[in-house]
Amino acid sequence: MTDRRTQLADNLARVEERISAACAAAGRERDEVTLIVVTKTYPASDVRILAELGVRHVAENRDQDAAPKAAECSDLPLTWHFVGQLQTNKVRSVVNYAGLVHSVDRNRLVTALSAAAVKAGRAEQELGCLIQVALDAESGGRGERGGVAPDGVLELADVIAKAEGLRPAGLMTVAPLVGPYAGRPRAAFDRLMEIATDLRGAHPTANMVSAGMSADLEDAVAAGATHVRVGSAVLGVRPRLG
Ligand SMILES: *Cc1c(COP(=O)(O)O)cnc(C)c1O
């Protein structure tokens, strides 16, 4: 346990250095970027250590794993972010612990999240919804790993804004592995920032830009991301894909 704590503290310090350096290089203040640690596949005991080390934002991508972990850690001052593809039959569980969902990508999911949020009594504390953008999706389409094509963002944001219990909070993307942006994370994140500017024009408070992971957080910070989602660089390489 103590070893794990040292390991996590060292990793966290290294990631913190990378974010600070990226901010400095981009002429941005360090507090313009929020670190979200992606704790998927790692136990609640790690989440507890991270909280003791000062982490305040954690993310998960599967409700089956996240729900019990969040329950075990409900005494900690953490905001839980849901970043995985989300089935409508899981939303009733997700709204119980998540402060923000980063993977909103279709009307049906908005309808389900809204109904669940209202039922969970979240009319006051609205669930923040980030629209996941699939930069490699065809016009009018969706990405293979979720996400709406760029030209569907504004319409979906309007649907979220009208939905009870929800608020449009911003955009999320994962740098595409295929298509014109493959291997060009900086170009992908620059494109995301353009879409984010359009979104803010229509919904000024939807100002979160969630981009960048362990491998490409510098590109995301340089482009203007407000939130980076870092997993393996803090917790170690995951034993399985997730
Ligand atoms: C796993 C995951 C991350 C973190 O990825 P790392 O490469 O481990 O930093 C970020 N975003 C999403 C959506 C993820 O599923």
Give the separation between CA 95 and CA 90, rounded to whole angstroms.
Answer: 9
124 Cα–ligand 1 center, Å: 30
Q: What is the pLDDT of residues 40-60, one digit of tens each?
A: 999 999 999 999 999 999 999
SS3 159: helix
Give the separation between CA 113 and CA 90, rounded to whole angstroms.
Answer: 9
Question: Is-contact 186 201, C-beta < 8 A?
Answer: no
Predicted local distance difference test score (pLDDT) of residue 1: 53
Q: Which CATH code for domain 2-234?
A: 3.20.20.10
Residue whose structure tokens are 């400095």: 24
Ligand 1 contacts (CB < 6 A) are 38, 40, 61, 83-84, 174, 213-215, 229-233
User: Alpha-carbon dihedral of residues 46, 224, 220, 167, nearest 10 degrees?
Assistant: 50
Helix axes 44-52, 2-26, angle to 10 degrees: 60
* 240 C-beta neighbours (distance < 10 Å), count: 5
Supply the residue whose CA is at minimum distance from atom 7 of ligand 1.
Answer: 214
Better-scored residue on pLDDT, 242 or 185: 185
Q: What is the pLDDT of residues 195-231, one digit of tens each?
A: 999 999 999 999 999 999 999 999 999 999 999 999 9
